[in-house]
Amino acid sequence: MTEPERRAALEAIAAEVRACTNCRLHATRTRSVPGEGDPETEVVFVGEGPGFNEDRLGRPFVGRAGDLLVKLLAHVGWRREDVFITNVVKCRPPDNRDPQPDEIAACAPFLRRQLEALDPAVVVTLGRFSMATFMPGARISQAHGTVRRVDPATGAADALAFAMYHPAAALRTPAIERDSYADIAAVPAVLLDARRHREPTEAGPAISSEPEPAAPPEPETRLALPSAADETAPQLTLF
Ligand code: URA
């Protein structure tokens, strides 16, 4: 897909999301929140669903959780406009309750189509509802900071999923905030790994699309940070 085609596909999906009445959440929303970011990015962050501020503005992660997400991204030298940020459900669940299974199912085709258009190398899941889509059966206390091959049925044809706690949980619990900084520090290395997997070889794709068990990144790369002193830093840039 060319860049204009990708942009047009994402805008078409966003227009459908804005008009969507497929589940009960449309009745209580102010604005739906399709998602936003760089259409050419290699990294997509998937949260749970819009909260109060997102519902008002029609943009993802613009409240306190969003402020923390921006800080986490800055920790690895990235900006929110370098990545794509979206949610499992695109309309706010009333009173910030958990999204219900039928609401997640009703919204799933939008996320699948966004991922088909974006074709990311890495999907970072934020919180357990997002993780359940990309790492079914995983428990967040064990799976955060680990990587698993994404099932192409999600729409991401050739991607690694990386699980993180939801930033709102990090805001509530200092230990989770510390874990979140440690976890995001591993994402550039996961991206390098994903790029290697995606490089075509004469024998075809480097790895099969079979799901793999969750495995933490190598300990020595887990905390690696891009920095001026790091020889790999130029490779870690998203552009
Ligand atoms: N929490 C989410 O999961 N998504 C948002 O967009 C904002 C807060």
CATH of the domain at 201: 3.40.470.10
What per-residue confidence (pLDDT) applies to 131?
98
pLDDT of residue 221: 32
What atom of ligand 1 comes closest to residue 47's alpha carbon? 3
Query: What's the confidence (pLDDT) of residue 123?
Result: 98
- Local structure of 152: helix, strand or coil: helix
Site to probe by mutation for ligand 1, drawn from 36, 44, 52, 54 as the one with most ligand atoms within 8 Å of Cβ, is 54
Token digits for 203? 């024998």
Centre of ligand 1 to C-alpha 222, Å, is 26
**Helices of type H across 145-208:** 167-172, 174-184, 187-198
What was the pLDDT predicted at 200? 75
The pLDDT assigned to 202 comes to 57
Per-residue model confidence (pLDDT) at position 82: 97
Residues of the chain with pLDDT under 50: 204-214, 216-235, 239
Task: Check residue 236 and give its pLDDT.
Answer: 52
Helices (H), the chain: 3-19, 52-57, 64-75, 101-118, 128-134, 140-143, 167-172, 174-184, 187-198, 219-222, 233-236
Tokens coding 178: 């510390």
Ligand 1 atom with the smallest distance to the CA of 33 is 6
Residue 206 DSSP class: S
* C-alpha separations of 31 from 17, 18, 83, 156, 167 in Å: 10, 7, 22, 26, 22
What total number of domains does the chain contain? 1
Distance 151 CA to ligand 1 centre (A): 23
Q: Which protein residue's CA is at the shortest distance from atom 7 of ligand 1?
A: 61
- The dihedral over CA atoms of 187, 188, 194, 197, expressed in degrees to the nearest 10, equals -140
Domain span including residue 45: 3-236
pLDDT at 199: 80
What is the pTM for the complete model shown? 0.86
Look at residue 218 in the predicted model and tell me its pLDDT: 44
- Residue 93 alpha carbon to ligand 1 centre in Å: 11
Rounded to the nearest whole angstrom, what is the distance from the C-alpha of residue 33 to the centroid of ligand 1? Answer: 10
